[in-house]
């Protein structure tokens, strides 16, 4: 058995026998701390190389990136890149700091290779995250090639009528450090947030963020994307696609987590005990793939589409790219696959 397979098997055994017995959020905190602490080692590992992708005026080292949610506060960007991700999307970051929802708020469904979360945009707020990104920018240390995305969302206590100003605050603080910026209106864990996906509310929000980004970064255009939910109807998906074209959006991320609990292998009683939250992982694959196809057929060949949801291996990533995605992202696949998972997927995409 070659070394890569042994490492993958060891992680699977560790996950099944140890990590599944630890509170998922605590396990995430410990694992992320280990990734950050291990950066002096991982940065020296051989890099899996893939085919570069030109999109939104940016050069991505290969198609695979880490979705928002793993590094909410921009604490481990370069350590995550050292594991093999070609782009890392931090956040979701809100205008004001917030603790998120009460614990427990993160749950595993191993039988489905899935995760349920109702984190509630727990993060340190745009001012703190911007200061951290400024320090990273000033260090100028050697790092692997990386594209940095910043995902922004609405502060929970901000009423909907003030949502635009809340997003504008985050944009002004964070856009100077972002290679691209994402407006998140699709998490199911902030009350009323998904209502902003309706095009009559989404258009003024996106226009306001675009304007503020241009003010904050006058010397370059920061690409702007919107992240949508898989639970939108096909007609609403197409309406967002039409809006993206009409206002000159740079891309769409499809998709966020789902509130659906259909076709799960996990014990139904356990699923009901977990309760509300966004489901991510393998069960999302089919709908996320379908939404990607819908979008590509609607927007034509040029708009950037980032496919996320249910990508567990290189075959899933290839299928999403074949459906029309320009780039792909993962989170839950990484959680179940372990620290060498990104490099394995990149090699698989490259045929290695």
- Distance, in Å, from the CA atom of 29 to the CA atom of 16, rounded to the nearest integer, reads 18
Reported as a single tens digit per residue, the pLDDT across 158-216 is: 998 999 999 999 999 999 999 999 999 877 767 777 777 788 889 999 999 999 999 99
Q: Which of 252, 340, 334, 259 is nearest to 294 (CA)?
A: 252
Q: Which of 50, 53, 52, 58 is nearest to 250 (CA)?
A: 58
Q: Which of 85, 39, 82 is nearest to 62 (CA)?
A: 85
Residue 39 has pLDDT above 80, yes or no: no
Whether the model pTM is above 0.85:
yes
Q: Are 117 and 188 in contact (CB under 8 A)?
A: no
Q: Which residues are catalytic?
A: 187
Write down the pLDDT at residue 351: 81
Residue 155 has pLDDT above 90, yes or no: yes
% of the chain at pLDDT higher than 70: 89
DSSP secondary structure, 47-85, as one string: PPP---EEETTEEESSSEEEPTTSSTTSSSHHHHHHTT-
Q: Are 72 and 133 in contact (CB under 8 A)?
A: no
The per-residue b/e assignment along 147-181, b for 16 or more CB within 10 angstroms, e otherwise, is bbbbbbbbbbebeeeebbebbbbbbbbbbbbbbbb
Reported as a single tens digit per residue, the pLDDT across 274-293 is: 999 999 999 999 999 999 99
Kindly indicate the confidence band of residue 340, based on its pLDDT and cuts at 50, 70 and 90.
confident
Residue 7 has pLDDT above 90, yes or no: no
- Distance, in Å, from the CA atom of 35 to the CA atom of 284, rounded to the nearest integer, reads 27
CATH C-level class of 3-349: alpha beta
Q: Is 192 exposed, middle or buried (0-12, 13-18, 19+ CB in 10 A)?
A: exposed
Give the relative orientation of helices 341-349 and 314-322 as an angle to the nearest 10 degrees.
50
Kindly indicate the confidence band of residue 48, based on its pLDDT and cuts at 50, 70 and 90.
low
Residue 1 has pLDDT above 50, yes or no: no
Length of the chain: 352
Q: Which of 260, 312, 265, 322 is nearest to 289 (CA)?
A: 322
């Amino acid at each position: 058995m070659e070394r890569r397979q042994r490492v993958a098997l060891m992680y699977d055994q560790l996950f099944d026998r140890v990590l599944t017995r630890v509170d998922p959020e605590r396990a995430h905190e410990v694992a992320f701390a280990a990734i950050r602490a291990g950066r002096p080692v991982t940065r020296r590992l051989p890099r899996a190389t893939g085919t570069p992708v030109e999109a939104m005026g940016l050069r991505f080292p290969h198609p695979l990136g880490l979705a928002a949610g793993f590094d909410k506060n921009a604490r481990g960007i370069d350590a995550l890149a050292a594991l093999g991700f070609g782009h890392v999307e931090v956040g979701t970051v809100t205008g004001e700091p917030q603790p998120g929802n009460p614990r427990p708020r993160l749950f595993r469904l191993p039988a489905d290779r899935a995760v349920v979360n109702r984190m509630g945009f727990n993060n340190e707020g745009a001012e703190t995250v911007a200061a951290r990104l400024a320090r990273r920018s000033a260090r100028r240390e050697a790092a692997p090639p990386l594209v940095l995305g910043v995902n922004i969302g609405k502060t929970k206590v901000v009423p909907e009528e003030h949502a635009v100003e809340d997003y504008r605050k985050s944009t002004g603080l964070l856009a100077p450090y972002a290679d691209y910026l994402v407006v998140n209106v699709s998490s199911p864990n902030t009350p009323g947030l998904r209502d902003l996906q309706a095009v009559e509310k989404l258009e003024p929000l996106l226009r306001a963020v675009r304007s503020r980004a241009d003010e904050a970064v006058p010397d370059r255009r920061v690409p702007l994307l919107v992240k949508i939910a898989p639970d939108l109807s096909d007609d609403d998906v197409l309406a967002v696609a039409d809006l993206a074209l009409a206002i000159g959006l740079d891309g769409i991320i499809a998709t966020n987590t789902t509130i659906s609990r259909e076709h799960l292998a996990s014990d139904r009683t356990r699923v009901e005990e977990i309760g509300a939250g966004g489901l991510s992982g393998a069960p999302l694959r089919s709908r996320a793939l379908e939404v990607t196809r819908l979008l590509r057929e609607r927007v034509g060949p040029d708009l950037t589409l980032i496919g996320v949801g249910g990508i567990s291996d290189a075959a899933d990533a290839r299928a999403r790219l074949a459906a029309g995605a320009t780039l792909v992202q993962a989170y839950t696949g990484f959680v179940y696959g372990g620290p060498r998972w990104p490099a394995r997927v990149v090699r698989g995409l490259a045929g290695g």
